[in-house]
Every structure is written in C-alpha cells, then in structure tokens.
A and B are shown apart, each in its own frame.
Chain A
Amino acid sequence: EVQLVESGGGLVKPGGSLRLSCAASGFTFSSYSMNWVRQAPGKGLGLEWVSSISSTSSYIYYADSMKGRFTISRDNAKNSLYLQMNSLRAEDTAVYYCAREGVENYFDYWGQGTLVTVSS
C-alpha cells in the first residue's frame, strides 16, 4: 500500500524557517517524481502547486511565488522528500501535502498533509 506521511509543520514567526519531510513507503520511491502542494486553511477552494522534483533530482521546478525561498530535495536511500522553507510569510500559512507524480503529469497519491502556520 502506498503511503505518504508528512511531518515538520508547526507555528513559525514571519521571516522564520521550517523544514517539512515526507516519508514514503509501499512503492519504489526512487522511480517517481514527487511534488509539494499546499492549501490555505479556512479559505474555501484552492490548491496551489509548490514544487516538483524528478526521480534523480535532475529536474526541479518551483511556483514563481516560492522561487528563491523554498528548496525541494529528496533522499532516495531514505525514501524521503523534503521542503526547506525560508523567509516565511503569513500568506505561506497552509496545509502542505506531498504527492506522488504519475507517468504523465498527474498526482496519483497524496499524503494527509501537515499544517504550517506563520504568525507572530
């Protein structure tokens, strides 16, 4: 059974940093691209793609609003995905999901999400 378990969320002050992790199991992690997607809480509709990393980390992409502040990485030996978030802003407050990428531009499995709250 494919499982994605995020951790590392919490309360952080504006300007602070946080590192999210996603532990993968039930599939060959090193064969799949992985992604981070976020959703602001209490604001109704809205999924926002954050970043993508290919299976060997050769290709990395970011949403424009995250470039320069967020860094995606992975450790295939540990079956883990990471998101380093720096210079956090109030508008970064959201539930952050990790998601496995299928063969052709879709996300076939999602984790349960971890909540990041940026507030003073």
Chain B
Amino acid sequence: GENVEQHPSTLSVQEGDSAVIKCTYSDSASNYFPWYKQELGKGPQLIIDIRSNVGEKKDQRIAVTLNKTAKHFSLHITETQPEDSAVYFCAAIGYGGSQGNLIFGKGTKLSVKP
C-alpha cells in the first residue's frame, strides 16, 4: 500500500522568510495530493491540493509542486507570517490495499518567529 514520508518534522523560520516542506510517496498510482494545516486543538483544514496531471499550483502565498517521476511533492509558503505557525500534513490517495483512503505524512510543525 501507499506510504508517505514527510520532512522536516519541525521547521522554524523568521517572519517574511520562505518555508518548504517535502513529502515522498511510494505508490505510483496515487493521483491526488492535498495539504492540510492544523492549528492547536483543531481539526486539519485543507489549504491546497494538486492532481497528478499538473506540476504546480499556486494560491496567493502558498504553492505546491509535484514531481511524478521522483514521486515527491512539496509545499512552499512565501512571506511567512506568525499566523502560518501550525502543523502541516501532506497526504496521498492510497490505492490497492487501502483504496480510496488518504494516507498522511507525520506532520511538520512550522514556527514563524516575529
């Protein structure tokens, strides 16, 4: 089945700098890759997603890139702000043994220092 690895587990940046979080997946059949932001004590919220027919997607300060050949995708946050501080999860749809399930990475705790 699908396996998703996420790095780094913690990331600290200065306000205004960029942050990059990377994920790799194992199942070449996966075709949907969402990113979730989880604030303390709350449920994860979808912030951006990408499907395998495109290589990059942007939404204001957030972008996601996908390299299907290498089986990795990344979240890019530019001009970081203190309110970007949260735990970020990547995910991929698992096919085969866990068909239809989103398989999540273990999360990255992002801290943006003012």
Q: Do these two chains really belong together in a complex?
A: no
Q: Point out residues on A near B: beta carbons under 8 Å.
A: none
Chain B residues near A (Cβ < 8 Å): none
